[in-house]
Every structure is written in C-alpha cells, then in structure tokens.
Structure 1
C-alpha cells in the first residue's frame, strides 16, 4: 500500500478495519521480536537454570539503554505522524533525518560505555558468582547490538508513522530466522555457551543494517532520509527532545524499577528468577495483540490530531480498548488453564521442578491481570501518538516506583507469602495505573497536537 492510500485509510477508513490493518503486522512483528529471546531461552535452557536466569537478570539493563533510543524514535513517530496527517511531507522528511542522526550518535556512545561498565553493573545488582559470570558474558556482547538496534528502531518509527507496519515486520522476520539458525550453531555446536546466544542476536541485526539504511534513503516517494537533512539542527533536535525526554525518563525509570524488582526476585533464588524470565517471555507472546494495537494506535492518533480530527482520535481510543480487552481476556483464560503445560515446554529438565512450580504459579496469577495490561498499552499508545509523553512517563515509571515496589516491601514485611508477593503486586499496580491513565485521558489535554510552523526547512 502506498503513502497516499495509507494516509486516506487512517484519516477516513472504518476504524476497526484501520486498527486491525495496522496492528496485525505489528502483532506479528512483536511475536518475531519475542522469538529472539524465546530462541535464546530455549537453547540456553539446555545449559542450565543459572544461564536462563542470567538472560532475564540483565534484561532491565538492556532495556534501560534501549529505552533511550526508543524515546527518540517514539518522539519521531509522534511528530512525523502529525506532519503526515497535516499533509506536510517535507517536515516529516526533515524529522526523519534528524532522529536518524541523533540515534546513530547515541547508539555508538551507549554501546562503548555499556561494554566498559558491564562488570560493575552486574556486581551492583547483587549477582552471586555463577550469575555474575554468565550475566557479564551475555551483557557485554549484547551491548554491541545497540547501534544496529537503534537503526532498526528508526526504520520502524518512520514507517509506522506513515501507516506502514508491514515493512518493519518483514525485516524482523528475516532477522529472527537468522537468529534461530545461528543460536544452536553458536550455543551448542561451537560450544560458545551463553555468549553464543548473545552473538547470534547481534549478528542477526548487523547483517541487515546496511539494507535498512538503503531503504530509508532510496524510497523517495515515501517519508525518507534526505542526505542534506542529516546535519543536526538545533530547533528540530530540541523539539524531538522535548517530546522524547519524558518518554526516556519514564522508560528509564521503569527499567531501573525492573532492576530493583529483579533484585527482589533474585533474593528468592535462581529457580524463581528463571521462572520469572520464562514466564515473562510466555506472557509477552500472549500480550502481542495489545502491544500491536497500542503501537498502531500511536500513528492513528498522531495523524488524526495532525488533520484536526479530534473526534476520530477519540473513536480510535475506544475501539482499541474494546479490541485489546476482548483479545486479552481470551488469551488470559488460555494461559490460566494451560499454565503447567506451557511452562514445561521451556523447562525440559524434569529435575528443575522448582522452576516448573514457580513458573506455573506465576503464569496463573499474572493471567488474571492481562486485561489491565491491554488498557495500559492503549493509553500509552494514545499519549505517545499525541506527543504528550509526560502522561506516558507518569504511567510508565509511576507504576513501579510509586506503587509496585513499595507494595512489595509492605507485603514482604506484613506477610509470609514469599515470592508470590511480587506477582500480586504486579497485578494490583497495573490495575491502579490504568485507573490513573483513564483519569488523565478524561481531561482531554492529550488532544492538543504538538506540531507547529516554526521549523524551517
């Protein structure tokens, strides 16, 4: 579908059709992204529970770094989609080039810095010797993935802003297939262990990065990168940062919160940490519909606000809430009924009965709160698409620091439940955060578009 067709569909088409058309490729794309970690987890599980725990243990650190790149590209999606909606393609091109330049610089700096301080980070998180060794190997290699990962984020942001969710999906399919092929080769055949899992993930992006850059420059009939727009412009970068910094703070705060959360979980032992890691990957698959709808909604909200169609933006929100809730009620019911069978797929060792027991319980508890996460993702997509990222920051970081972590501490001191206090706190904090988000939405302040005419081309 070309640029003009997608713009017309988003601005004038049947809203349920629009959401499904844009979100289905995103759902599949998110599934493919999950395959990276699921493939790692499956093959790493052949090595042992400590290795599985290590990949989950360092995830918040990686997400903390990735969140910086995501904040820039989310700002780009918001701005570009609103420029597309207002039919100002040249400013969309300028914004695309600027987020590309900023992301390249940040990716290189963060990659080198992260690699150098990896051992200190892992030690700070309180890992024991076995967890420290494996986590350090995995994380130090994964930091080389950051520059290419940022370029992939830029590509996805630009294409999704104009309503093309298919191209990012196809690119990630190619990367996932490469990763799935390389995982067993590096991990087992070449006996590289957990380092092989990280290397497979890195190479699966490095191979396709030149092609991504080529696509961003070549397609002149779409939003694309003009070489003469690559030089950083203070006003444009300032606008990107004004939208992106709250997202960065929110996601970074969330990542730091998950680092603290992981420390709580790790205190219950490696079996609990491994169960949480496995359960999260399974849960992320069930969450695909809500994640896809939330991502697609951002560009729909952005383009309609850019076109001064506020009523249609509200219609998009209500339709997204309905669709995501229905899908996650079904997914949650399936997960609750078959939690034991699902968890055993990723724990082939019958000796790891502790991981199986913990994982089954975690999946059953968390499945009850899945509809909350659907509403959460729709609210985040709405606030990010409108460019009012302060609201998404409040929801993202607030649910951990102001609700979940204090709740865990209170439960730990007042009850003898053990690790389940973490799972219960997760559900309750998600529910409270959704209520806060709906109250913010009802004020209508998110409806003001953020694009202005002050940016000179």
Structure 2
C-alpha cells in the first residue's frame, strides 16, 4: 500500500481499523525493541560487577543528546503528514530531504560535544569507581555513534509522516536482530565487556540506518527523494526548527530531569538504581500498545488536519484513548500476579528483587495514566503544536515529579518508595493539565498554513 492509498485510508477509512493498521507495526517494533532491551540487560547483568547500574546511570545522558534529534523528527513527521493530507507532495519530499541533512550535521556536533564532556558530566552526577568506569566505557562509544541513531530516526519520521509504519518495523527488526547476535559475540566472545554492548548497538543501528536512507531515493518509492532535496533550504529548514525546537526542549529537559532523578536513585544505593532499570525494561512491555497508538495518532491527526477534517482528528483521539486504556488495563492485569517472578529473572539480589517488585507493582496500578499521557502528546505533536507537548513533558518532571521526590524522600519511612509514588502522582496531575489544554481546541489549527516563530507560537499556547 503506497502513501496515496494509505492517505485515503487515514482520511476516510474506519477509524479503529486506521488506528490498528498504523499502530500494530509500531507496537511490534516497540515489542522487538523491548525484547532487545531486556536481552541487552540480561547480557550486561552477566558482566562482573554491577554493569546494569552503569548503563542505567548514564542512559538519560544519551537520551538528553538524542532528544534534540527526536524533536526535529517529530516536526518532520508532523509537517510531512499535513502536507500529504493537503496533497502537497513536493513540499513533503523537500521536508524529508532537509530533515536528513540537518539531522546528520546536528548529530555530528552533538555527538562530539557529548563525547568530550562525558567524563566531567559523569563525575558531576556522582559517578565514581566502578560505576564511573562502566558508565564512561558505554557512553563514549554511544556518543561517537550518534549519527547512526539520528539517521535512523530521520528515516522513521519520513515514513511515519506518510503513514508507512511497516517499513520502519522491518528496518528496526533487522537492526535489533543484528544487535542481539552481536551482543554476546563482542561482549564475551571478544571479551569487550560493556563496550561490546555499545559497539554492537552502533554497528547494527548504523548499517540499517544507512540502508533505510538510501531506499528513500529508490525509483519505486511513492515519495521519491532527489539528491537536490538534501541541499539546505532556509525556509523549509526554519519550519522544521521552529516546530521541532519546543519538542526538542521538552525531550531534553525530560532527559535532564531523569538524570537528576538518577542522582536521587544513586543516593539510595546502586541496588535501587538497578531495580529501577529492571522495572523500566519490564513495564515498557505493557506500555507498547499505548506508545504505538500514540505514535500512530500523530500521523492520523496530522493528515486529517492537513485535509481540514478536524472532526475526524477528534474522532481519532477519542478512539485512541479508549483502545489504549483497554490494552493497558488488560496487559497490567495479566502481568500483575507474576511481577516478583519476572524481576527474579533479572537479579538474584534480594534487595533488588524487593525494590523492583514494589516499583513494578505500583507502575502497573497507575499505567492507564501513562497511556493517556502518550495520547495527549501524540495529539499535540501530530498537530504540530509542540509547545503544548513540551509543557506536559517538562511540567510532569520538573514542576511535579522531582520536587515530590525531594520532599517525600526527606520524610521518614518512604525511602525509594518516594520515587514510585511521585511518578504516579505526577502522571495523574499532568494528564489533568493536558486534558485542559486539549479542551481549548487550539491544537486544531494547521501548521502548514502558519508562519509563526517559536515565540509567537508560545504566546498563542
């Protein structure tokens, strides 16, 4: 099904079928990625010392750097979706080309900055001894391989904007499959340890990112790119930046917020950090449907707004909310009786099992809120109103969660539980705020007819 047929489905097809058609490949891609993360965590846990804590400790730093690229890919997908909805294919094609060039250059700059600053940042976060050694060994490789991540994200955004969620699934599955094969070979066969895990990720991502980008120039592509599309175009580039900057800021501040959260986790001991890492990997399995639906919703909202069909965009939001909630509740109820046994598969430390079981149980109880959050963010990102998404992402962590953790952790009897409680409470309040923003209806205006700067969009939000 080419993007013209997919556009017809998105604009006129049965809404639940549209949501499932677009979201199922994303869910499967997320599932494969989650299985990889769990497999990667399993292999890393077999390295002598607490290598899992080292990876978890610096993961927010990697997310911090990649968040700048993620924001631009959100803008790319939103713009392409609305241009296709408005039947402006040439503009969509040029936007795709600009995204590839800009993200490649941006990744080189950010990767170099991250690599040079990594030792100072890790120490500033409290990383010492074995924790520092493991963190730096992994982080330095990941920063050097940053262009591979950015290019793969660019490919995924271009395809998602067209409503093609199957191609990213195929590329992602091949990349992750290669990664899983390389992990034990490099980590244990070649005795590269935690560095081997990072190198495996960079190689597997890089090979298929380059392949994916090359295919966008293929004659068989419905939205075939030309080499001339890669030449910088100020007007299109500024549109991507203006729309992507708030999303990048929100993603970056979220990543930085989780870096601060890791500092709190380390203060309770590496056992708590490990429990948090294992719990997150497992809970991501339940979250897959909501994340898939949220990502698919962004495309559906974008194309329908581009076609001036606001009522259908609203219908997509309602159906997505219902379907996401059902998936999450059912998934949580299935997993709940087996939480402790699942955590035990990743650790034999009694304290890690205790903390990981408590954390995962509490997350399951509050998981519908995380799904609603994904729907709200998907709606605002798909419409191109990334200021609203930024408010939700930053507010949830900086205004609510981190202050809650700080206050609760100082009360006797809470300990690590303060983090788990703060996560649920911040999700609830954020969803209520997001619902209020959604109710204003400002997200319904098209970005492809606007020429506002970020500051002007901020004042309108």
Could you tell me the TM-score, scaled by structure 2's length? Answer: 0.96
Q: Cα deviation per residue 1:73-96 (whole Å; 9 max; x = unaligned)?
A: 100001000000001100000111
Matched, 1:139 2:113: no
- Structure 1: give runs of 5+ residues left out of the alignment: none
Cα offset, 1:206, TM superposition: 2.0
User: Map of 1:307-326 to 2, 5 A cutoff?
Assistant: 307-326=307-326
Equivalent in the alignment of 2:428: 431
Equivalent in the alignment of 1:173: 173
The answer on whether the counterparts of 2:15 and 2:319 sit within 8 Å (CA) in structure 1 is yes
Equivalent in the alignment of 2:246: 246
Equivalent in the alignment of 1:85: 85
Residues matched between the structures, number = 452
Cα offset, 1:219, TM superposition: 4.3
- Structure 2: give runs of 5+ residues left out of the alignment: 453-461
Matched, 1:449 2:452: no
Cα offset, 1:454, TM superposition: 7.7
Equivalent in the alignment of 1:384: 381
Equivalent in the alignment of 1:158: 158
- Looking at structure 1, the residues matched to 145 and 338 of structure 2 have their Cα atoms a distance apart, in angstroms, of 35
Equivalent in the alignment of 2:125: 125
The answer on whether the counterparts of 1:35 and 1:176 sit within 8 Å (CA) in structure 2 is no
- Looking at structure 1, the residues matched to 339 and 119 of structure 2 have their Cα atoms a distance apart, in angstroms, of 35
The answer on whether the counterparts of 1:67 and 1:251 sit within 8 Å (CA) in structure 2 is yes
- Looking at structure 1, the residues matched to 184 and 129 of structure 2 have their Cα atoms a distance apart, in angstroms, of 26
- Looking at structure 1, the residues matched to 138 and 36 of structure 2 have their Cα atoms a distance apart, in angstroms, of 14
Cα offset, 1:453, TM superposition: 8.4
Equivalent in the alignment of 1:214: 214
The answer on whether the counterparts of 2:151 and 2:210 sit within 8 Å (CA) in structure 1 is no
SS in 2 for 1:232: coil
Cα offset, 1:137, TM superposition: 0.3
Matched, 1:365 2:362: yes
- Looking at structure 1, the residues matched to 13 and 2 of structure 2 have their Cα atoms a distance apart, in angstroms, of 15
Equivalent in the alignment of 2:455: none
- Looking at structure 2, the residues matched to 386 and 259 of structure 1 have their Cα atoms a distance apart, in angstroms, of 29
Equivalent in the alignment of 2:301: 301
Equivalent in the alignment of 1:395: 392
Cα offset, 1:21, TM superposition: 0.5
- Looking at structure 2, the residues matched to 224 and 157 of structure 1 have their Cα atoms a distance apart, in angstroms, of 15
- Looking at structure 2, the residues matched to 155 and 219 of structure 1 have their Cα atoms a distance apart, in angstroms, of 17
Matched, 1:282 2:282: yes
Cα offset, 1:61, TM superposition: 0.4
Equivalent in the alignment of 1:407: 404
The answer on whether the counterparts of 2:250 and 2:390 sit within 8 Å (CA) in structure 1 is yes
Cα offset, 1:235, TM superposition: 1.3
Cα offset, 1:210, TM superposition: 3.0
Matched, 1:100 2:100: yes
- Looking at structure 2, the residues matched to 422 and 332 of structure 1 have their Cα atoms a distance apart, in angstroms, of 20
SS in 2 for 1:338: helix
SS in 2 for 1:208: helix
- Looking at structure 2, the residues matched to 238 and 326 of structure 1 have their Cα atoms a distance apart, in angstroms, of 40
SS in 1 for 2:382: helix
Cα offset, 1:28, TM superposition: 0.8
The answer on whether the counterparts of 1:96 and 1:223 sit within 8 Å (CA) in structure 2 is no
- Looking at structure 1, the residues matched to 403 and 114 of structure 2 have their Cα atoms a distance apart, in angstroms, of 29
Could you tell me the TM-score, scaled by structure 1's length? Answer: 0.97
Pairwise CA RMSD of aligned residues? 1.4
Compared CA separation, residues 452 and 131, structure 1 to 2 (3 A): same
Compared CA separation, residues 219 and 290, structure 1 to 2 (3 A): farther
The answer on whether the counterparts of 1:97 and 1:224 sit within 8 Å (CA) in structure 2 is no
- Looking at structure 2, the residues matched to 256 and 223 of structure 1 have their Cα atoms a distance apart, in angstroms, of 36
- Looking at structure 2, the residues matched to 397 and 375 of structure 1 have their Cα atoms a distance apart, in angstroms, of 16
Cα offset, 1:49, TM superposition: 5.7
Equivalent in the alignment of 1:64: 64
Compared CA separation, residues 331 and 48, structure 1 to 2 (3 A): farther
- Looking at structure 1, the residues matched to 42 and 249 of structure 2 have their Cα atoms a distance apart, in angstroms, of 33
